[in-house]
Structure 1
Amino acid sequence: MYIVIGADGREYGPATTEVIGRWITEGRCNAQTRVRRADSVEWRPLVEYPELAVFLAGTKAHPISSPDKLPPGTLPLAPHVDSRQVELSPSECIGRAWRTVTSAGAGIIFGAVVLWLFILICLEVLSGIPLAGLLVIPASWVIHGPLIGGLCYLILRVLRGQGAELADLFAGFRYRFVPLFLGWLVAGVLLVLTSVPGGLVSGIGAVSCVLAETAVWLKALGATLIALGFLLMLIPVTYLGICWWFVLPLIMEKGLDFWPAMKLSRRVVHRHWGRVFLLALLILGINLLGALACCIGLLFTLPLSFTAAMHAYEQLFTWPGHTGPAQPAPASIG
């Protein structure tokens, strides 16, 4: 089974060898049509698949328009995206990300991550300057969403075999600035608000420990409240933080507004929360190892982490998946 990128930049399939052969004879596909196997992430020209190239014999070359320059927000969601079950494998996402970042065309990902880190470091340095920091700190909140949205967009273009360039890192400022900013801001504010009850409980526990003096039972109560408050903060923040992991790429890449993106990300991730959480733990561990290597290792682990997350995003929101119905044959895909 194969997935095909049509002239409109949309994905069609899964389609059998015979179906694609019919599309070729009808002039809907040609030798340069982008194709990947349904169980793979690698996009290749149709002519590189021998089982498909045999159908090219005797056909004329039909020019197709390239989807490479389509603006963000044009790629549709997978069918039944919020109700289907996807066999998401955290280890497979890491493995695919490894193959991606060690491939010949991965330099653009490393370059984008280094530039993103450089911008963050500059903002951090400027925020420590008196007076200037008063402007830099709110400015950093404004640009974080669009920057991360652009980074996700660039990595997704690499995964799909499209022509990514370093300028794609800043595409969020051009195309989806307001919803990306609001998606980052609203999600951050809501995560802070969900931690308030637990923070209050921990605060009461800390006060109890301070006032206890020699009262052992009061110290024990205070310690219990501190632990309980920590859990009350950790559980909702972890759950929602994982559920909203894909808000920015959904805004950037699928054209959703910030609130629909937050709702859709939560619904889809909730169905696969355990596996997405495990992927997040693996990514956290990888980055901790990178930080232990004098932080230089982060220059490799961060590109790997972002790429693994985008592989998971592709499976959850873009690929047709395992349980959704096949898309009908398009009127024209090439």
Structure 2
Amino acid sequence: MSSPPAPEFPDDRTNPYAPPRAELGSRPLPADLSAIPVTVGDVFTRTWKTYHDQLGLCIGAFFVVVLVTFAIQMVLNFLQVAMQQAGSSHAALVFVKLIGRLGGFVAQTYLTAGQMLFLLKVAKGRNAEISDVFAGGRYLLPLTLANILSLAILGILAFISRICSAAGNQGATLPIVSGVCVLLCVVGLVAFLVRFSQYPYLIIDRNAGAVESFGLSNRLMRGHEGQLILLWLLFIAINILGFLAFCIGLIFSIPLTFLLMAVFYVALTGQSGIELLGPDDFRSEEKPHTDPDFGSPDPNDR
């Protein structure tokens, strides 16, 4: 004799003793905050709208970074002048100058990390604050190492180009070969700048390591090299217009172009905006639409 079928339990919504139902499915995205298409026009349109809404905040953060950078440079210059007037030895002056340059490099990296953190929040629709420009301390070490690695690679390419150029002046048969080598170095330089351009954002947004960020940037930029080059040209054109406006226009053009690059990164990673972010989250956990295998941020890193 077969046993009667087990009764069906009521739905969570009607059963007062059932545990809360877990929300495992993806949330529907609002139509006005869908993922930004990776096209120059759409990226600029989103940038302009965001910049218009956050104009005062963006300009204020830019001014803070400029003023702090200027203050650091003034302190370093004052220290060197004071040591010269005190009759310090040449070795001491060289040492102080070296320490000053290293300190300035680290301080600038710290401010750059904070500024990118601020810009990413603005680009994603998060509530950003000017104080965010001083919140980049946790990214200082990986970003410093990545910047040093980037400068080393650029230096090697420039050195090879210099050698090829010098070799071309030594004989009549070498200029053509030298010119080809220089051209290849220039192409390699541009390719490096384009393919690895997103490493600072990946360090800050994805908590990537210094070396890891270059590999992720290379994957992320695959197929989007042309868009970035066009955005760079737009970046230059906007700031030229700002310079022609008696240089006062740079106050408005530079923050706009900085935000343009952040919005481009947000578009590349397929992040849509505030609907992907909780009140205590900064990083989106949605995988970018440009590469389904692209690693998402560490879920434990909140």
- TM above 0.5, one fold? yes
| Aligned residue number for residue 256 of structure 2 | 304
Contact in 1 for aligned 2:242/2:248 (Cα 8 Å): yes
Contact in 2 for aligned 1:202/1:226 (Cα 8 Å): yes
Contact in 2 for aligned 1:157/1:164 (Cα 8 Å): yes
Q: CA offset at residue 198 of structure 1?
A: 0.9
| Aligned residue number for residue 241 of structure 1 | 193
* 213, 236, 255: which one aligns with 1:284: 236
Contact in 2 for aligned 1:201/1:229 (Cα 8 Å): yes
Given residue 249 of structure 1, which amino acid in structure 2 is its aligned partner?
A: Y
Q: Give the Cα–Cα distance (whole angstroms) in 2 for the partners of residues 233 and 126 of structure 1.
A: 39
* 220, 239, 244: which one aligns with 1:268: 220
Q: CA offset at residue 162 of structure 1?
A: 2.2
Contact in 2 for aligned 1:143/1:181 (Cα 8 Å): no
Cα deviation digits, residues 81-105 of structure 1 (max 9, x gap): xxxxxx51123222221211121x3
Contact in 1 for aligned 2:270/2:289 (Cα 8 Å): no
Cα separation, partners in 2 of 1:124 and 1:288, compared to 1, 3 Å = farther
Q: Give the Cα–Cα distance (whole angstroms) in 1 for the partners of residues 193 and 262 of structure 2.
A: 16
Cα separation, partners in 2 of 1:290 and 1:187, compared to 1, 3 Å = same
After TM superposition, list the pairs within 5 Å mapping 1:126-141 onto structure 2: 129=80, 131=93, 132-141=96-105
After TM superposition, list the pairs within 5 Å mapping 1:145-294 onto structure 2: 145-173=109-137, 175-205=138-168, 207-208=169-170, 218=172, 227-228=179-180, 230-294=182-246
Q: Give the Cα–Cα distance (whole angstroms) in 2 for the partners of residues 308 and 152 of structure 1.
A: 12
| Aligned residue number for residue 108 of structure 1 | 57
Deviates more, 1:307-316 or 1:273-282: 273-282
Given residue 39 of structure 1, which amino acid in structure 2 is its aligned partner?
A: S
Q: CA offset at residue 307 of structure 1?
A: 0.9
Q: Give the Cα–Cα distance (whole angstroms) in 2 for the partners of residues 142 and 258 of structure 1.
A: 15
Q: CA offset at residue 122 of structure 1?
A: 4.2
Cα separation, partners in 2 of 1:266 and 1:124, compared to 1, 3 Å = farther
Given residue 45 of structure 2, which amino acid in structure 1 is its aligned partner?
A: G
Q: Normalized against structure 2, the TM-score is what?
A: 0.68
Cα deviation digits, residues 250-308 of structure 1 (max 9, x gap): 11121111111111011211331121222122212222332344433222111111111
Q: CA offset at residue 149 of structure 1?
A: 2.0
Cα deviation digits, residues 157-200 of structure 1 (max 9, x gap): 12333221112112111x22211211222112212112221111
Contact in 2 for aligned 1:151/1:168 (Cα 8 Å): yes
Q: Give the Cα–Cα distance (whole angstroms) in 1 for the partners of residues 290 and 151 of structure 2.
A: 33
Q: CA offset at residue 226 of structure 1?
A: 7.0
* Runs of 5+ consecutive residues of structure 1 not aligned to the other structure: 1-11, 17-34, 42-86, 209-216, 326-334
* Runs of 5+ consecutive residues of structure 2 not aligned to the other structure: 1-24, 82-92, 272-286, 293-302
Contact in 2 for aligned 1:141/1:185 (Cα 8 Å): no
Q: Over the residues paired in the alignment, what is the CA RMSD in angstroms? A: 2.9
Cα separation, partners in 2 of 1:186 and 1:321, compared to 1, 3 Å = closer
Identity of aligned residues (%): 25
Contact in 2 for aligned 1:196/1:233 (Cα 8 Å): no
Q: Give the Cα–Cα distance (whole angstroms) in 2 for the partners of residues 107 and 135 of structure 1.
A: 36
Q: CA offset at residue 314 of structure 1?
A: 0.7
Q: Give the Cα–Cα distance (whole angstroms) in 1 for the partners of residues 150 and 290 of structure 2.
A: 30
Q: CA offset at residue 145 of structure 1?
A: 2.7
Given residue 102 of structure 1, which amino acid in structure 2 is its aligned partner?
A: H
| SS of the residue 2:256 aligns to | helix
Contact in 2 for aligned 1:100/1:159 (Cα 8 Å): yes
Cα separation, partners in 2 of 1:297 and 1:270, compared to 1, 3 Å = same
| SS of the residue 1:163 aligns to | coil
Count residues in correspondence: 238
2:96 aligned with 1:144, yes or no?
A: no
Cα deviation digits, residues 121-166 of structure 1 (max 9, x gap): 4455566656353322111222333322211111121233322111
| SS of the residue 2:269 aligns to | helix
Question: Which structure exhibits the higher relative contact order, with contacts defined as CA atoms closer than 8 Å and separated by 6 or more residues?
Answer: 1
